[in-house]
Amino acid sequence: MLPWERLARVWRALAHRAERESDLDEELQAYLDEATAEHRRRGMSEAEARRAARQELGAVDGVKESVRASWSGEWLHTLLRDVSYSVRVLAKRPAFTVVAVATLSLGLGGATTVFSVLNGVRFQPPPGILDPEHVAAVDRLVDGRQVDGLSYPDFEHVRRTTHAFKDVAAHVGTPLRLRAPDGSRRSLIVDFTTGNYFAVLGVRPALGRTFGEDEAVPGVPSPVVVLSDRSWRTEFGADSTVLGRTLDLNDTRFTVIGVGPPGFEGTMTGQHVDIWAPLPTLVPTHLFDPGFERDRELRLFSVFGRLGTGASAEAGRAELGGDTLTVRTSFGRYPEFGELDAPFFRLIGGAVMLLLLLACANVSTLFLLRASARRPEMAARLALGAPRAALARQLLVEGALVAGAACVLGGLGAQLFVNRSADVAAQFGPIVYGVDGRVLAFAGGVATLTTLLVAVLPMLRIRGVAPMAVLRTATAGGLRGVSGAQRVLVVSQIAVSLTLVSTAGMIYGNLKRLLSEDPGFDPTNLAMVYFDPRRDGWDEERTGSVVRALPAAAQGRPEIASAVVSTMAPLLGRSRSGTVYLDGEAPAAASSRRTPPPGALRPRVVAVGPGYFGMLGISLLAGREFVPGDDAGSAPVAVVSARLARALWGDERTTGRYLELAMSDTRGGEPTVRVEVVGVAARHKQARLDDDDPLALWVPIGQSPLDALLLIARGRGATPSIEVMNDILSEADPDIFPAGNWTMQELMRNGVNLDRRVSRWIGVFGLLALFLSALGVYGVVGHVARERVRELAVRSALGALPWQLMVRLMGMGIGLTAAGGVAGGLLLYWTSSVVRRSVRGMAGVDLRIVGGCAVLLALAMALASFLPARRASRISPSEVLRQE
């Protein structure tokens, strides 16, 4: 039979089922009549004949059931009947159904959301690349860590020596100033690439062409650009005549030769590339100096290659030797980004997995309790002749309905959440984003399996029980006790909720502490504006005069109290670092260049204008700070952090000593300068909120090479606005391009933003967990109360007071809570080490917070066991005993 014929038959069978059913009735009746008539002919009386015929036929329902089993489409009918019956059963107990479905969908929806986002952000290669699994990135190894960024000679080395790669490309991306024909200026992300970049990625232009190797020969810049589809649409109105137009980037004219395909936005994490330009044009745009391709210290190039047929990332790794360079297996996600998001996802991921488990545990508790309550029903149905298989099938359908509803709801919820957070995710750069089917299948599978398993439990629990016995005891009010499995489930729920709530509390407590601690500088009313004279193509002389003029110009305005220029501000993030040696101990320049000796001190090095410490309110433990006279014409000086002073000389209050500072410059050298330490700065928060005593060294801005700069200003009574800050810049020099604005408030907030989000999520999960475990305790105590109603009635009749009964009942809940608390403590001890590694500045387990959470938990559980206990303690003994 063809499938569609079979289908048509099933359909016909279902459509005509009622007819068939009455046909069968009639057929059996006719049989009875015939048989009766036959018996009559043999001389039986009417009554005898009829009885004999009936006896022959046997149990009519049984005969009908076996006839029906032979009908086609009967399984579908049975299924539909089971479904409609299950729907009625579930609808009859809406509280159970809603809680079960809500619990499960919460657990699996949460897990799906979090892991879909994680998958999109962490493991998906950037979109738009041909066979991304055959593209692998090359990393540098620093102290065993993989770091993105190779020098051009490194790149050439990789390209020359590896055979695993068919071809290797390099690129470096940076924001650049685009001057529009109308004079307005915008910042665009420009990716400078080798000529084979597009070929290696397998990216073809949607319009025009891409540039090739002949246009990217080192030393011969060819000013052409390819626009990304996004920038073509947003910046150029999707104009199809854009080819051949010229763009002004950092005062260099480029010709547009092509537009990239939709969806391809480069391979940089956190950046959507707007424009691709040939690598050698880094020179005419003043970003790199001529000869950068020979600079071994300029490790700014991201390098990736396409693996040859049959070659693996491991083969490439083996070829590179693994000393200084290695191959990353997954392409597109930068290692630093991993650092950035890993703790977030590790914590949230862990919490959400716990929540999924908890949801499953909770649904199990619900079903277990219900199973006990349904024993009489099951027994009755068995007694009425329902086959065990049919009962089990119907219970499975019930479970499947609950799980199915939860999967649909959870999936939809995840979809909604992931879509809503897509904008946030886009900040992380080009990302493939959406609910991950495999994740949903996994979470849904776990939830469904659990539900199906616990749904048929009522069957297992009445196995081998004579229906009549169950019915008799059930009506008399005696049910089976709370099973061990139930106790374990409730205890683990309590443990998990205590862990989650306390963890959230500790993370929150930690960020509160970080924010409220004395930062060591005065953070009030500080605003910053960032500008990059190098990017604007300035020389040191022009920069120097602006830097000298800016603070005075700023302080001339009524809304500014004080101002200073520096390369970095507290809490703004990483900065350059240098290697520091005791006076006379620096190795010869040639040998020091590649790798500093092990144990060498690598402080962060910040160039600051005169009066920096005073302006920020950072106190000096010894010596003086920089004055306008500390410039290119005077002897090199430095201020060191207290920790650096201790590390060098074991003394925090020393000045007048000399040290040697080696810092790489963009010209390929790492010159060592002998500087006099004129001051020691007191402890204050620097790169991050939890980092208040780092190795650090400050040098006068007038004695430092050209770098990106910050104007830091303190407002009078209020934080200066972005407009004011940008105004100050353009008044000092109309050509300065303000490239970024921050306020200290923002930096402090951002410093703990991730932790705040983590603690909020985990806190929400924890409260949900708490609620779920309270429901569990409530259910168990309520169940025990129902089960022991006779015993309680007898006790009450014998003179026990209501409160005595209550204590007996609540003892159960209290015992479970205590066990859960102990288990939670152990779990917390184990998870706190993970949390400590993931959250900055986090100390060990904070007993005060854990204690507070435990009290909260105990109160919730006490309430959860109090309510059913009180109800039970108010029974009227005579009423209960009369029911016997």
Using the rule CB under 8 A, is 57 a contact of another protein? yes
CB of 775 to another protein, least distance (A): 48
Nearest to 571 by CA among 616, 535, 615, 609: 616
Stretch touching another protein by CB under 8 A, among 31-39, 161-169, 232-240, 674-682:
31-39
Interface stretch with another protein, choices 50-58, 445-453, 716-724, 794-802 (CB under 8 A): 50-58
Closer to another protein by CB, 72 or 721: give it.
Answer: 72
Count CB neighbours of 859 within 10 A: 11
| Cβ distance to another protein smaller for residue 75 or 830 | 75
Using CB atoms within 10 Å of the CB of residue 308, give its burial: 0 to 12 exposed, 13 to 18 middle, 19+ buried: middle
Nearest to 381 by CA among 364, 362, 394: 394
Q: Which is nearer to another protein, 9 or 716 (CB)?
A: 9
In this chain, which stretch among 43-51, 70-78, 507-515, 827-835 interacts with another protein, using CB under 8 A?
A: 70-78
Is 63 a residue that touches another protein (CB under 8 A)? yes
Indicate whether 37 belongs to the interface with another protein (CB under 8 A).
Answer: yes
Q: At a CB cut-off of 8 Å and minimum separation 6, what does 496 contact?
A: 354, 357, 358, 769, 773, 824, 827
Q: Does 385 bind another protein (CB under 8 A)?
A: no
CA distances to 502, 614, 744 from 522, rounded to whole Å, are 32, 10, 10
With binding defined as CB under 8 A, does residue 21 bind another protein? Answer: no
Q: Does 28 bind another protein (CB under 8 A)?
A: yes
Q: Is 43 in the site for another protein (CB under 8 A)?
A: no
Residue 23 interacting with another protein (CB under 8 A) = yes
To the nearest 10 degrees (0 to 180), the angle between helices 46-57 and 17-41 is 130
CB of 810 to another protein, least distance (A): 57
Question: How far is Cα 261 from Cα 352, in angstroms, rounded to an integer?
Answer: 37
Q: Is 62 in the site for another protein (CB under 8 A)?
A: yes
Residue 66 lies near another protein (rule: CB under 8 A)? yes
Contact 282, 292 (CB under 8 A): yes
Interface residue with another protein, options 30, 386, 807, 843 (CB under 8 A) = 30
Residue of 21, 25, 33, 539 that binds another protein (CB under 8 A):
33
- The pair phi, psi for residue 799, each rounded to 5°, is 110, 5
Measured from the CB atom, is 41 or 160 closer to another protein?
Answer: 41
Q: Under DSSP, is residue 266 helix (H, G, I), strand (E, B) or coil?
A: coil
Q: How far is the CB of 65 from another protein (least distance, A)?
A: 9
The distance of closest approach from Cβ of residue 23 to another protein in the complex, given in angstroms and rounded to an integer, is 8
Cα 392 from Cα 374, distance rounded (Å):
13
Instruction: For residue 624, give Cα distances in angstroms to 55, 142, 613, 620, 730.
Output: 116, 36, 10, 7, 32
Contact between 341 and 121 under an 8 Å Cβ cutoff? The reply is: yes
Closest CB to another protein among residues 36, 592 = 36
**Binding residues for another protein restricted to 227-256, rule: CB under 8 A:** none
User: Which range, of 68-76, 128-136, 354-362, 460-468, touches another protein by CB under 8 A?
Assistant: 68-76
- DSSP H helices, 70-93, are 74-92
Choices 30-38, 224-232, 301-309, 721-729; region in contact with another protein by CB under 8 A: 30-38
Least spacing, CB of residue 18 vs another protein, in Å: 16
C-alpha 249/C-alpha 743 separation (Å) is 29
x/- binding map, residues 447-486, to another protein, per CB under 8 A?
----------------------------------------
Nearest Cα to Cα of residue 203 among 132, 274, 302: 132
Q: Does residue 46 interact with another protein by CB under 8 A?
A: no
Q: From the list 50, 52, 72, 342, which residue makes contact with another protein (rule: CB under 8 A)?
A: 72
**Total of residues contacting another protein (CB under 8 A):** 23
Distance of CA 263 to the CA centre of its chain: 23
Here the tokens at position 723 are: 């407009």
By CB under 8 A, residue 866 contacts another protein:
no
Q: Give alpha helix (H) positions in 332-387.
A: 335-373, 375-383
Decide: is 35 part of the binding site for another protein (CB under 8 A): yes
Chain contacts with another protein (rule: CB under 8 A): 23-24, 26-28, 30-31, 33-35, 37-38, 56-58, 62-63, 66-67, 69-72
